[in-house]
Each structure stands twice: as C-alpha cells, then as structure tokens.
Amino acid sequence: MHRIQQLAAEVLGQVESGRTLTEALAQAQRQSADLTAQERAALQDICYGSLRQLARLRFWLRRLVPKALPDAQLERVLQVAFYQLVYTRAADYAVVNEAVKLAERLARGKFKALVNGVLRNFLRQREEMLRLAQKDLEAATNHPRWWVKAIQQAYPQEWSSILEWNNSHPPMTLRVNVLKSTVAAYLAQLEALGMGATALDDASGILLDKPVNVRELPGFADGVVSVQDWGAQQAARLLDLHAGQRVLDACAAPGGKTCHMLEMADVEMTALDIDPQRLQRVAENLQRGGLHANLHAADAGQAADWWDGKPFDRILADVPCSASGVVRRHPDIKWLRRPGDFATLAAQQAQMVDTLWGLLAPGGKMLYATCSIFPEENQQQLAAFLARHADAECLNQQQLLPCERHDGFYYALLAKH
C-alpha cells in the first residue's frame, strides 16, 4: 500500500506545482507499468478523491501540525493517509503502518515518529476533526474561499448545491449514434447485458446507473455509441444543422461534438485544434464512427494560417475557459485556477470569437460555448460581443449548472444579419 501512497503523494505534488491531474496521473501510471488493475484503480481513486477533499485534508493537517513540515512530500503523505482513513474502506492500522513505512523511506526515519503520532492522534479525534471542518468555509465546501464567494455572488440560491455537485462523482452518459442505432434499441442491448440505464431524451442521450469501462459497452468499438456528457450533447442540437452546410468546429478536441454534428447531418466539416496530439484524438473518434472531417492543427484565432477564404454556414466556438463547470471530472481545476485568470481568458475568448465571426456567412449561425459557470466568461462575454458587433443577434442562451444528469455548460446561439 505504501507504494500507492507514495505515487498519490507525488501526483498531488505535481498538481500543486501547476500540472493537471490528468497529466500527472498518466505519467505516474506509465512509470509504474507493473501495477495491477486493482492498484491502478486505487491510485486513481486516491488522487481524484484527495483533490476533491483537499481543503478538508489541509485543514486537518494544520490542526494537527500547525507548522509546515520541512519536507513538503511528507505533508502530502499525511493528506493521502487522511483521505484513506475517512473516505476509503482501507483498514486504519494498515493505512497508518504503510504511511509510517513511507515516511521512513522518504526522510530516512527522521519523521517516522511524527507521522505515526499525527495519524494516531487523528484517529482518536476523527469525529471532532469532521465536526470542526464543517465550521470552516473552505474545508466545509472543499473549494478555495474566493471560488465560494464568486459562486455565492453569481448564484445566491443555487451556490450550495453547485459546490456539492462539484464534489460528487460525475455521471456516465452516452450518446447513441443515430446513423447506427436508436436510444430505444440501445437501451434494450444494455438491459440484455444487465446494465441499468435511463433515456435522457429520444434523440441520443442515455444515463448509465453505474459507470463501466468503455470496452464493456456494446458497439463502442464500431462507433454505435460514445461517452459524452448530456450537457455537451446540446451543442450540436442548438446549431440547427442541415445537409450540405459548411461547418467549422473551432476547438474540436477530443472530437465528441465534431462527431455528434456529423451524425446529425451530412455537412462539410472542418475541425481545428491548436494541439496536434489532441487533434489525433479527434481523428481516432472520427475513424471509430466511420465519419470524415477536414482536420487542421492550427490556432482558430489566426485564420490566415488555415482558412481557405470560403465562409462557413455554422461555427461552433467552443472557446478556452476556466472549465469551472466540469470540476467533478477534473477536481484539480478548482486548485489550479486563480482569480486573475479570468481577465486573460476573457481576452482570449473575445479575440477568438471576433476572428471567427468574420468567417461566418451572412445568415449563418455561430454557437458560443464554454464549460464554465462564471458570468465573466458567459453572459458578460456575450453582452460585450453584441456591443462590438451590430450585425449579431442572440437567438438563444442557456446556462446549465452541474446536476445529477449533466455538468455545467453555457451556450449562446448567434445569428449574423
């Protein structure tokens, strides 16, 4: 167990230094190829869970060890152990013993007694520690204080439930490829395999009762079904697609929305992403679904580098954002973001949509999309855009908040006169 604790502590350290959880965990798993499937699952659970509960873990550490330890890695070992003691079924004695062994290895025994004492003290005071955490704003919500205040201001009625959903495990939702099956037919296949599921709509959305490995999904390898949040599925539906249209997906990776649009209508699709490696994910998803798009590794905001001069009938502007609506899938986001990030993101978003607007044909439609719930990136961005462009009209805007069925997304459908 101490090896899993060590890897998890190392992943937390990398996230604290600014790396994403996805990258840090992938590297840890690559470097530990001999881990069993059970060990890999345990590592993932501890890393995701520790970041979901990070404010609480830090709170307990400071209550029990008021001064920072000389070795930051030891602090992370204690945080991981706290998580295991409270949120997993691991035996208390095993967690403590393995953490002590790890401390002995990391600091040559210098802090062995301290780690042992802290964890045993925590076990004696566990109920009191849980009670005290509920009285601290950050520890109670497991979000940075500034984030809590911003959500309270934006959503005075819903703020508490938003933060609770952010700390929950995300649902697993599917998108049925309407070119190959139907929701009713696929539900029947799942039922025959003993997989519980619910239709979210008649078009393509299905919510699984329990997450499964994609390899267990019937027809997944053949593109019959894909994993895509139900909120994300709304993008293709809002764009009012028709056969023969020229369509641009401006920030396409990993390709879920690109494929969904091609499944809905026989359009001429151009898909961009600034990252060639991420664009490869788009290519793989297209191949799995038997779909075609013109792919370009390019910056959507630098049209001269890739645009052929022919205007588009539809544009999906899924712009870079804080990703504050998908925190439960990426719990590192709430710890990596800073209040000052929004000014930088707003400038990037404005520059991108202004450029893309110039590529849209008169009478065409552009969907401004984010996976954010902060007004600075959504309603305020829309108002500023409309003030800059007299030929733009907003036909529809939706702010989806995290809930049991979907993550947080924002959409604004714009028509060009």
User: Over the stretch 136-164, which tens digit does the pLDDT of each residue have?
Assistant: 999 999 999 999 999 999 999 999 999 99
DSSP bridge partners of 173: 207
The per-residue DSSP string of 276-297 comes to HHHHHHHHHHHHHHT---EEEE
Q: Is 259 a catalytic residue?
A: no
The DSSP 8-state label assigned to residue 28 in this structure reads H
How many separate domains does the chain show? Answer: 3
Q: Which of 259, 321, 371, 394 is catalytic?
A: 371
Say yes or no: 254 and 401 in one domain.
Answer: yes
User: Over the stretch 229-278, which tens digit does the pLDDT of each residue have?
Assistant: 999 999 999 999 999 999 999 999 999 999 999 999 999 999 999 999 99
| Residue 98 lies in domain | 2-139
pLDDT at 416 over 80: yes
Q: Helices (H), strands (E): how many in the chain?
A: 18, 11
pLDDT average, residue stretch 200-207: 95
Q: Report helix, strand or coil for 3.
A: helix
Say yes or no: 276 and 288 in one domain.
Answer: yes
User: Over the stretch 272-302, which tens digit does the pLDDT of each residue have?
Assistant: 999 999 999 999 999 999 999 999 999 998 9
48 in a structural domain: yes
Say yes or no: 219 and 309 in one domain.
Answer: no
Average pLDDT, the chain: 95
44 in a structural domain: yes
Say yes or no: 233 and 132 in one domain.
Answer: no
Say yes or no: 391 and 331 in one domain.
Answer: yes
pLDDT at 1 over 70: no
The CA distances from residue 239 to 134, 247, 392, 401, in Å, are 44, 10, 15, 20
As a whole number of angstroms, the distance between CA 314 and CA 162 comes to 32
| Strands 409-416, 360-370: pairing kind | antiparallel
| Strands 225-227, 392-400: pairing kind | unpaired
User: Over the stretch 66-79, which tens digit does the pLDDT of each residue have?
Assistant: 888 888 899 999 99
Report the candidate in 353, 254, 249 with the shortest Cα–Cα distance to residue 301.
353
* Structure token digits, residue 307: 């645009």
Say yes or no: 251 and 382 in one domain.
Answer: yes
pLDDT-based confidence at residue 62 (cuts at 50, 70, 90): very high
As a whole number of angstroms, the distance between CA 212 and CA 180 comes to 21
Over 32-65, what HEC string results?
CCCCCHHHHHHHHHHHHHHHHCHHHHHHHHHHHC
